[in-house]
A and B are shown apart, each in its own frame.
Chain A
Amino acid sequence: EDQVTQSPEALRLQEGESSSLNCSYTVSGLRGLFWYRQDPGKGPEFLFTLYSAGEEKEKERLKATLTKKESFLHITAPKPEDSATYLCAVKAGGTSYGKLTFGQGTILTVHP
């Protein structure tokens, strides 16, 4: 069974204080690892897709990296508007094609 574990559950940062969120996964035949951002009262918003170990993607203050067992979302010099829940999800191959398995998320709060 595919499993995704995110840590920490919650992270409080001061504005400008860089940090990383972790996503550990167990999946049979990874087809892709996805990062989403979710604001209160909204649906998850797509950020990145990573396909293979060693791959990196960047968007503004966010950078996502991937190894064979985990992914990191690095946040550089965060601002209060980066406060949100960050979700990680994996897609496996085989008969579960199309299905995403999500982690529980990391709640990020950035204080001014």
Chain B
Amino acid sequence: GAVVSQHPSRVICKSGTSVKIECRSLDFQATTMFWYRQFPKQSLMLMATSNEGSKATYEQGVEKDKFLINHASLTLSTLTVTSAHPEDSSFYICSAKGRSPEGYTFGSGTRLTVV
């Protein structure tokens, strides 16, 4: 089945630095990927839709200059959290749609802690 690999699984960074999270579709090509953020004991909140070869579409209230998304190939989308602050600490999850009828496949998530 479709596999989505997300890296790193955990990252701790200092306040003010930038962090890049990678999302790869391992056995299929994904023209569209999605990025979610999840705070403790809350549901997944869609941040943006990542489109290969074009600009990402951000959900209302998500700062596009803070959460930079690059989808330069059919198998890789990256999310860069710029000038991270403690309030950006969260669980970030990506997803992509393969050819199977099972809907979207999700990555295993990245736990970001900003200190």
Determine if chain A interacts with chain B.
no
